[in-house]
Amino acid sequence: MSKDIRIKKGLNINLVGAAEQTTSKAVLSNVYALNLEDFHGITPKMMVKEGAEVKAGEALFYNKNREGMLFVSPVSGELVEIERGARRRILTLKILADKDQETLEHAVPDLEKASIPAIKQFLLKGGCWPFIKQRPYDIIADPDSTPKAIFISGTNTAPLSADLDYVLKGKEKELQAAINALSKMTPGKVHISIGRSSSSPFAELKGVELHKVSGPHPSGLVGTQINKIDPINKGEIVWTVSAQDLVIIGELLLTGKFNGERIVALVGSSVKQPRYYTTKIGTEISTFLYASGVNNENFRVINGDVLTGKKSSQDGHLGYYNNTVSCIPEGDDYELFGWNKPVFNKISATRAMTFSWLQPNKKYDLNTNTNGEHRAFVVTGMYEKVFPLDIYPMQLLKACMVKDLDEMEQLGLYEVAPEDFSLTEFICVSKQPHQKIIREGLDLLHKEIG
Amino acid sequence: MSDKRLTFKKRLHILKHRYRDKKMAPAFNAFHTFLFSPDETTHNGSHVRAVDDLKRTMNTVIMALVPVLIFSMFNAGYQHYSAINGFPQEFSVTEHFLTWDNFWIGVVKVLPLLVISYGVGLLVEFIFAVIKGHEVEEGYLVTGMLVPLIVPIDTPLWMLAVAVVFGVVIGKEVFGGTGMNILNPALTIRAFLFFAYPTWMSGDKVWVHGARERADQIAEGATNVDAISGETVLGFLAQNKGAEMSYSTWDAFWGFIPGSVGETPTFLILLGGLFLIFSKIASWRIMLSAVLGSLFMGLIFNQVVEMGWITETSKFYGLMSYEFWKHLLVGGLAFGIVYMATDPVTGAQTNRGKWIYGFLIGFMSVMIRVFNPAYPEGVFLAILLMNVFAPTIDHYVVRGNIKRRMKRLKNAVVLPKDSDQEAKELKAETV
C-alpha cells in the first residue's frame, strides 16, 4: 500500500534565479577533478600513479577500509595531479581528458539469474557503489550489509534545486534497470516518493512502492520521507540513492559502461540565464558558468543547493553527487543598523519588524551574510515549526555538542542526516552550524558504536 | 588614499582588524555590531540565513516594553500627586494623567533606575566578555529594561546597583552567560532586593514616590507634612480592607493604581503580549496556559469562599473572595506572564512542556499571592520556582519521545551482515 505523505511543518525558500527548462550541452572540460571530500569517511588507497593513463570507468582508488569498493574516473585521460593536503591526505585527483574518449566495458550479468553477491560485485567493480548511501551515519553504504528498505526521493523541494521530473525525462529504462538491481538487495521494499501533481518518470516504474508527498520543504528530503514511511530504529539500516545517480547505475547495468553524464541545473541570482546543462561529473564549472553569464563579480559558487551544498569557486569542479550548481552574491559587507531596521528584502521566520510574511510568494535575492553573530541557543520552539521529523531538534543538537552518546542514540540521531537540519540552520537565531554539529555527532557515534 | 576619504564604515572595518585578538576586541565589537550588522559570511552548511538574529529578537521585546515604560513615568507622578492632593473626582487622561508635572516625576525617579540598571548591568557584561574573551551577548538588553519596571519607585539607586551586580553575576555569568542561566536574571535581581532589603520592598509606604520619605520626616517630628500612603490593591485585600479601596476595576485595567514601577498598566501589557505573539518572539502557549492556570486557582479560592469553608474573619478572606479574573488585573501577574514567564532560556523548551510550565506559573502565582503572610504577591516567586522545575518538565516530555522510539524498536528489522565467507569472496573478486 502506498502512503501519501503530507508535510505541514516546513518552509519554502523562494529565491531569484530558478533554472529555465531548456538544456544545452556544456563545452567539454579539459581537466576533470574528483574532490575526495565528497566521499565522507572514505580513506582512499590509490590504484594508479600520477601520470598514468586511465579509461573512463577505470578505477582510480579504492576504499582502504573495504577493499573492492572502487572509485572510477568519469573520463579517459591522464591522471595529471594528485593534490595532497596536511599529513599527505589526498584532496583532489585531476585528470586531463583525452580528445577521444574510451570507456572501460564490463561484462553485464543477467539480472534475472544473477546472485545478490554477483550484482553487488558488479556495482562495486563498475564504480557505481559510491552512489548508494546508507543511514544511519549518512555514509556510503556498507556492501556487506542488508538494508531493511531502500528509499529514493523523486522530488526536489530545496530552494532552486533541479526539477527531477525534467532532468529524468526519457530515462525510464535506466531507472527501471537500477530499481530491479537494488530491489534484489533488500528483503524490504524500494520506496520512491514523488510530488503530488508531478508527471514523474518514476510513476510508471514496476517493483516499487510509490508515495506522493506534498507540502513545503523539507518534504522532498529523503530523511523526511523515511521518518514518515518507516523510521529507522537502532540496528536497522536503510539505503538511499539520489534519483539522478540511479540513471548512472542503470546505464552500467544495461551497457556495462560507466557514464558520468548528467543534467545539471545552473541557478541563482548571480547567473544571467539560469538553465540546465548536460555535462559530466568532475567537469570544470567554468565550462558552463560563463555560457550563462554572471551578474556580478563577488559571488559564491556552490556545488549543490544553497542549503546543503559545498562551497566551490569559479574555477572549481562539479561535485560527485551534485546536480545543481548555485551562484549567489557574497554578503561580506556591513549593514547600518541591520539588526533593528525593518527588513523587506530578506526572508524571516518571524515577524519581528521583518515583512517576508506579507508576501509568501515573493522571490528573494539572498546573499551569504549570516545576518548576525554566533550565539548560544536562546530562542526555543522555532526549529519545531520547520522540522517535520518526530525528533526534538534542539535537544538532539545539544546532545551532539556535549557528545552524550546515550542521549544522541535515544533522541534519534540514527534517523537523520546533516541535510535534515538545513532548514533549522537557516532560521537559527543563534546562527549555530547545525549541519556541522550533526555531522560531527554522526561521525562520533559511528566511531564509538560502529 | 588619505584617511579623510575613507567612509565611516571602512574606518570601523580597519579598527576591527586592529583590535582583532586583542583583549578589548569584545568591547569594540559590541559597539561595532550595534551600529553595523557584521560582514560575516556563512561557511559550508546553509549558505543563506534568515534575517533574524538575537539582537533583533531582544529588540522586539524591548519595543513591546516601551509603552509600559512611558506609561509608568506618567503614573509615577500621577500616584505621587494624587496621594498628596487626593484622587481627582472626574478623572480625565489629558488633564490629570498626561501632564508635564507627572512626567517630570517619571524623569526624576524612573529614568535613573533605567540608567543604573543598564549602566551597571552592561558594565558587568562587558567585563565578563573581556575576561572570558567572548562577544558581549544580548541577554541583558531585555533584563536591563525589565529591572526598573519591577521594583518600587523609591528603591535607592545604590541598592539597585548592588542587586544588578548580584543578579548578573550569580544569576547568569556563573552559568556561562546568555542562554546558559537557570534563573531569570531580572527576577533574580528582584528576589535579591526582596530578601536583602524587605523594608524597602513591601508595606504601604514604598509604592508611591515620597511616601517613605514623609513617613521618616514625621517620625523625626516634622509637623508641616502630611503622611501619604499608597497601598496596592493586593495590600488592601490582604488586610481585608477591600471596601476602603478607592480603585475601580477599570483603574486596575488601565493601570492608574500604585504598584511596582511598570507592573500596573494591564492594557498596555496585553498589547505588548499580543505584539510578541504576533511577531512570533514569545510563546503564546506559555502566556495562554499561565492565564488559564491563574484563573483556575482563582476559581478554586472563590469556590472555597462560596462553600462557606472560610468566613470573613479569616485573614485570607479578602484575597480569596476577590473575583477570580481580577487577579490578572492587579499586582504583577500580567507583567510576569507576558515578559518574564516567556523567557525562552529559563522556561520550558518543549511545546508540551510550555503548557505545563505556564499553567503552573499562573496557578502558583495566585496561590502564593493569597497565602503569603508577609507580602501579598507571588508572581516572581512562582516564576523562579518554575524556572527551577522547567528542565524537569522538559525531561519528562522528551522521555515521552524516547519511549515512543523504544516501542518502535521492538519491531526493528535488524538484518545480519553478509557471512564472512561471502564477504571474502566479494573482496577477492573485486581487487
Q: Is A65 exposed, middle or buried (0-12, 13-18, 19+ CB in 10 A)?
A: exposed
Mutate to test the interface with B, among A184, A228, A233, A325 (most CBs of B within 10 A): A233
Give chain B positions within 8 Å (CB) of A391: 401
Scan for cell 520626616, then name that residue. Answer: B217
Distance from CA of A338 to the nearest CA of B (A): 5
C-alpha cell at A173: 529504462
Query: The sheet that has A53-54: what strands, in order across it?
Result: A31-35, A90-97, A77-84, A53-54
- Put simply, whether A331 touches B (Cβ < 8 Å) is yes
- Put simply, whether A37 touches B (Cβ < 8 Å) is no
* B269 or B226, which is more confident: B269
Average pLDDT of the residues in A13-38:
93
C-alpha cell at A308: 546543503
> Is B46's CB within 8 Å of A425's CB?
yes
* B245 or B368, which is more confident: B368
Mutate to test the interface with B, among A145, A298, A306, A334 (most CBs of B within 10 A): A334
Distance from CA of A2 to the nearest CA of B (A): 20
Distance from CA of A187 to the nearest CA of B (A): 9
> Is B35's CB within 8 Å of A306's CB?
no
CA A332 to chain CA centroid, Å, is 26
Give chain A positions within 8 Å (CB) of B398: 392, 395, 411
CA A50 to chain CA centroid, Å, is 29
Scan for cell 493586593, then name that residue. Answer: B234
> Is A236's CB within 8 Å of B427's CB?
no
C-alpha cell at B413: 528489522
Q: Chain B: residue nearest A355 by CA?
A: B279
Three state DSSP letters for chain B: CCHHHCCHHHHHHHHHHHHCCCCCHHHHHHHHHHHEECCCECCCCCCCCCCCCHHHHHHHHHHHHHHHHHHHHHHHHHHHHHHHHCCCCCCCHHHHHCCHHHHHHHHHHHHHHHHHHHHHHHHHHHHHHHHHCCCCCCHHHHHHHHHHHCCCCCCCHHHHHHHHHHHHHHHCHHHCCCCCCCCCHHHHHHHHHHHHCHHHHCCCCCCCCCHHHHHHHHHCCCCCCCCCCCCCHHHHHHCCCHHHCCCCHHHHHHCCCCCCCCCCCHHHHHHHHHHHHHCCCCCHHHHHHHHHHHHHHHHHHHHHHHCCCCCCCCCCHHHHCCCHHHHHCCCCHHHHHHHHCCCCCCCCCCHHHHHHHHHHHHHHHHHHHHHCCCCCCCHHHHHHHHHHHHHHHHHHHHHHHHHHHHHHHCCCCCCCCCCHHHHHHHHHHHC
CA B312 to chain CA centroid, Å, is 35
Q: Chain A: residue nearest B181 by CA?
A: A378
How far apart CA A430 and CA A419 sit, in angstroms, is 18
- Return residues 263-322 of A near B (CB < 8 Å): 300, 302, 306-311
Give chain A positions within 8 Å (CB) of B412: 233-236
> Is A187's CB within 8 Å of B415's CB?
yes
Average pLDDT of the residues in A60-71:
91
Q: Chain A: residue nearest B408 by CA?
A: A233
Whether the per-residue pLDDT at A218 is higher than 70: the answer is yes
- Put simply, whether A427 touches B (Cβ < 8 Å) is yes
The average confidence (pLDDT) of chain B is 88
Delimiting residues of CATH 2.40.50 domain(s) in chain A: 31-97
Delimiting residues of CATH 3.40.50 domain(s) in chain A: 5-10+107-255
> Is A426's CB within 8 Å of B135's CB?
no
Q: Chain A: residue nearest B284 by CA?
A: A381
Task: Indicate the pLDDT class of residue A404, thresholds 50, 70 and 90.
Answer: very high
> Is B279's CB within 8 Å of A375's CB?
no
Distance from CA of B255 to the nearest CA of A (A): 27
Nearest Cα neighbor of B16 from B3, B2, B4, B33 is B33
Average pLDDT of the residues in B234-247:
83
Rounded to a whole number of angstroms, the CA Rg of chain A reads 22
- Return residues 397-416 of A near B (CB < 8 Å): 410-412
Scan for cell 493604581, then name that residue. Answer: B257
Distance from CA of A43 to the nearest CA of B (A): 16
Provide the terminal-to-terminal Cα distance of chain A, rounded to the nearest Å: 33
Distance from CA of B393 to the nearest CA of A (A): 14
Kindly list the distances between the CA atom of residue A263 and the CA atoms of A24, A162, A220, B14, in Å, as whole numbers in the listed order.
9, 9, 19, 45
- Put simply, whether A107 touches B (Cβ < 8 Å) is no
> Is A311's CB within 8 Å of B415's CB?
no
Q: Chain A: residue nearest B29 by CA?
A: A373
How far apart CA B42 and CA A369 sit, in angstroms, is 6
Which residues lie across from A211 on neighbouring strands? A193
Whether the per-residue pLDDT at A164 is higher than 70: the answer is yes
Q: Chain B: residue nearest A127 by CA?
A: B430
> Is A339's CB within 8 Å of B55's CB?
yes
Whether the per-residue pLDDT at B419 is higher than 70: the answer is no
- At residue B1, the pLDDT reads 42
Mutate to test the interface with B, among A308, A312, A339, A398 (most CBs of B within 10 A): A339
Give chain B positions within 8 Å (CB) of A412: 401, 405
Scan for cell 538487495, then name that residue. Answer: A185
- At residue B430, the pLDDT reads 53
Average pLDDT of the residues in B141-167:
94
- Return residues 365-404 of A near B (CB < 8 Å): 366-382, 384, 390-392, 394-395
Q: Is residue A131 helix, strand or coil?
A: helix
Give chain A positions within 8 Å (CB) of B429: 68, 121, 125
- At residue B429, the pLDDT reads 55
Residue among A349, A368, A380 whose CB faces B349 most closely:
A380
Which residues lie across from A304 on neighbouring strands? A325
Task: Answer for the pair A194, A200: CB distance below 8 angstroms, yes or no.
Answer: yes
pTM score, two decimals?
0.92
How far apart CA B193 and CA B161 sit, in angstroms, is 10
Find all residues with CB under 8 Å of B166, minimum gap 6, and list them: B188, B189, B192
Give chain A positions within 8 Å (CB) of B177: 376
CATH number listed for the domain at residues A31-97: 2.40.50
> Is A392's CB within 8 Å of B56's CB?
no
Distance from CA of B400 to the nearest CA of A (A): 11
* B186 or B228, which is more confident: B186
> Is A394's CB within 8 Å of B9's CB?
no
Distance from CA of A174 to the nearest CA of B (A): 24
How far apart CA A224 and CA A222 sit, in angstroms, is 5
C-alpha cell at A246: 540511479
How far apart CA A368 and CA A270 sit, in angstroms, is 12
Kindly list the distances between the CA atom of residue A50 and the CA atoms of A29, A30, A37, B417, in Å, as whole numbers in the listed order.
20, 17, 19, 36
Q: Is CATH 3.40.50 the right assignment for the domain spanning A5-10+107-255?
A: yes
Mutate to test the interface with A, among B40, B41, B51 (most CBs of A within 10 A): B51
Inter-chain Cβ pairs, chain A and chain B, closer than 8 A: 279
The percent of residues above 70 in pLDDT, for chain A, comes to: 100
How far apart CA B50 and CA B47 sit, in angstroms, is 10
Average pLDDT of the residues in A57-65:
92
- Put simply, whether A143 touches B (Cβ < 8 Å) is yes
How far apart CA B157 and CA B120 sit, in angstroms, is 11
Scan for cell 519588524, then name that residue. Answer: A353
Backbone angles phi, psi at A174, to 5 degrees: -65, -45
Give chain B positions within 8 Å (CB) of A117: 418, 422, 425-426
Q: How many CB atoms lie within 10 A of CB B146?
A: 25
User: Which phi-psi region, left, alpha or beta, contains residue B199 (left: φ > 0; alpha: ψ -120 to 50)?
Assistant: alpha
Scan for cell 553487488, then name that residue. Answer: A120
Kindly list the distances between the CA atom of residue A325 and the CA atoms of A160, A263, A305, A310, B65, in Å, as whole numbers in the listed order.
9, 11, 7, 10, 46
**pLDDT tens across A250-301, in order?**
999 999 999 999 999 999 999 999 999 999 999 999 999 999 999 888 999 9
How far apart CA B143 and CA B382 sit, in angstroms, is 18
Kindly provide the ipTM of the predicted complex, given to two decimals. Answer: 0.90
**pLDDT tens across A138-148, in order?**
999 999 999 99
Pairing between β-strand B36-37 and β-strand A335-336 as defined by DSSP bridges: antiparallel
Amino acid at A329: P
**pLDDT tens across B1-32, in order?**
445 567 888 888 888 888 888 888 888 888 88
Angle (nearest 5°) at CA A42 between A41 and A44: 150
Q: Where are the alpha helices (DSSP H) in A94-186?
A: 116-126, 164-167, 172-184
- Put simply, whether A361 touches B (Cβ < 8 Å) is no
Task: Answer for the pair A139, A40: CB distance below 8 angstroms, yes or no.
Answer: yes
**pLDDT tens across B74-124, in order?**
999 999 988 888 888 888 888 888 989 999 999 999 999 999 999 999 999
- At residue B423, the pLDDT reads 59
String of DSSP letters for A57-81: T-EEEEETTSTT-EEE-SS-EEEEE
> Is A352's CB within 8 Å of B38's CB?
no
Distance from CA of A300 to the nearest CA of B (A): 9
